[in-house]
Amino acid sequence: MIQPLTREQMAARVARDIPDGSYVNLGIGVPTLVANYVPAEREVIYHSENGVLGMGPAPKPGEEDPDLINAGKQLVTLLPGGCYFHHTDAFVMMRGGHLDLTVLGAFQVSETGDLANWMTSDQYLPPAVGGAMDLAIGAKRVFVVMEHTTRRGEPKILKTCTYPLTGTGVVDRIYTDLAVIDVTDEGLVVREMIDGFDLEDLQEQTDAPLRSADDLSLLVHRTEVDLSSGL
C-alpha cells in the first residue's frame, strides 16, 4: 500500500529546495505552508504582491495588525530588514524578473511547462486571476506544488492543459504527493518517487510521458526541517 505525501509533507519537500538568500513568492494554499519548513539557518526573503518584502510568520495573539497581510489575506509580520512598497512596484519585482523563485499551486501542468492555475471550466464561478500570471511569467524559477491527480483520479500533468492557461512554458519543477518532476527541454524527468512505486505506476497517473532521472531517488515523507537540498 503506497502512502502519498500529506500537504505538510509536500510543503516540507519543497522547502528543502528553497535556497539560502533567495527572494521568494509563495502562492496561496500549500505553497504558503512551505515557509514553515525552511530551516532557520537559511535567510529567505519572502515577497508578497500587496507590497511586502521580508514577511515573517503569523503574528502572536494580540499583535495582529489588519494593515499587515499577505496575498492570501492572512495576517503576517515583518522581519527586521523588511519593507513596504506600493502595488505597482511589487509587480515591477515580479514582472521584471527580480524574484528568484515562486511556488504556486496548479490545476494542471503540461509537459512543456504550461501552467493552468486560475480558471476551471465552471461557468457559474466568476473568473479570478489575481497576480498569478505576473508571477508565472516573471519569477526566475517557477515551482508547482499540487496533488498528482484530481480527487476523481484524473491526471493533472498532461500533454496539453485543458483548462485556460496562466502562462506558457513557465514551470521548472513539479512537486506532487507522489513525485518530484523536472520540466526539461527533453520532456518530464522524474527525480524522486515515493516508496512502492515504479515509473509505470506513476505513468499510469500521468497523461504526459515521463522518464526517469539517472539518479532517481526516493521521495521521503517528512515534515521536520531538512537541511539537505534536492536541487
Partner 1 sequence: MIDKRVATLTQAVSDVKDGSTILISGFGIAGIPIDLCHALIDRGATDLTLVTNNAGSGHTDVAALLKAGCVRKIVCSYPRSAGSIWFEELYRAGKIELELVPQGTLSERMRAGGAGLGGFYTPTAGGTLLAKGKETREINGREYLLEYPIRGDVALIKADRADRWGNLTYSKSARNFGPTMATAADLTIVQVREIVELGELDPECVITPGIFVNRVVEVGASS
- What amino acid positions are annotated as catalytic residues? 49
CB 83 within 8 A of CB 54: yes
Residue 102 as a binder of partner 1 (CB under 8 A): the answer is no
Please tell me the distance from the alpha carbon of residue 179 to that of residue 193, in angstroms, as a whole number: 4
Among 119, 189, 199, 216, binds partner 1 (CB under 8 A): 119
- Ramachandran assignment for 147, one of left (phi > 0), alpha (psi -120 to 50 degrees), beta (any other): beta
Torsion of CA 98, 103, 109, 113, to 10 degrees: 30
Residue 224 as a binder of partner 1 (CB under 8 A): the answer is no
Quick one: 131 or 197, whose CB is closer to partner 1? 131
Please tell me the distance from the alpha carbon of residue 89 to that of residue 86, in angstroms, as a whole number: 6
CB 191 within 8 A of CB 214: no
Quick one: 99 or 103, whose CB is closer to partner 1? 99
Q: Which 134-173 positions form the footprint of partner 1 (CB under 8 A)? A: 134, 137-138, 164-168
Name the one residue in this structure whose C-alpha cell is 531538512.
226
Residue 127 as a binder of partner 1 (CB under 8 A): the answer is yes
Residue 204 as a binder of partner 1 (CB under 8 A): the answer is no
Quick one: 142 or 210, whose CB is closer to partner 1? 142
Write out the residues near partner 1 by the rule CB under 8 A. Answer: 20-21, 23, 43, 45, 47-54, 65-69, 73, 78, 80-99, 119, 124-134, 137-138, 164-168
